[in-house]
Chain A
Amino acid sequence: MNMFSFPLRARKLKSAQTAKERLQILLAHERSDGSSPDFLPTLQREILEVVKRHMQVDADMVDIKLERGDELSSLEINIELPGAQKLRATSAR
């Protein structure tokens, strides 16, 4: 065996391993989400409706982030609320 071939092979295996793991995570998510592909726009709309019942919010001020992971995924929803100044301006109208 060539002494140079070992580290070279190890490096190749490493990126192929990364490729396999990325595919496994992604495909697991894609296969399970397959039945309801577009739930996120609906989810966003529904969350906004609920929040609007209690507070004044703008549809533009919603930020949804999703991070798909192996162990767990996270859904982060950020809703920016109007400040006191803007609230005064709207109630004066």
Chain B
Amino acid sequence: MDLAKKKLGLLLSTGLEHPNLETAVGLSEAALARGADLYLYLIDDGVRALGDPRVRALAGRGARLFVCAYGCQKRRIPLEDADTVTYCGLVVLTDLINGTDRFIALN
């Protein structure tokens, strides 16, 4: 299956200790390697995954990285002034749900 330019949306809502993180990173790397457009949305405890260097590296490979601003606020995680991260709300998540070819939620 040709994944080039196909849009994959990934939602991650679990924290660093949960095996979902490995799944998210693995799926993301595989999708990028096959030329898919990757949109990763971190929400709830998933916002802590921003501290994982593998997640950070995804942005450098072309992934769009979205982080729930509300989730950061609740956990007192300061918002960074970074070009590779977009802090946003549920409107963007809705866009991903509606606009991607495949959407996977890892909760």
Partners in one complex: no
Chain A residues within 8 Å of B, Cβ to Cβ: none
Chain B residues within 8 Å of A, Cβ to Cβ: none
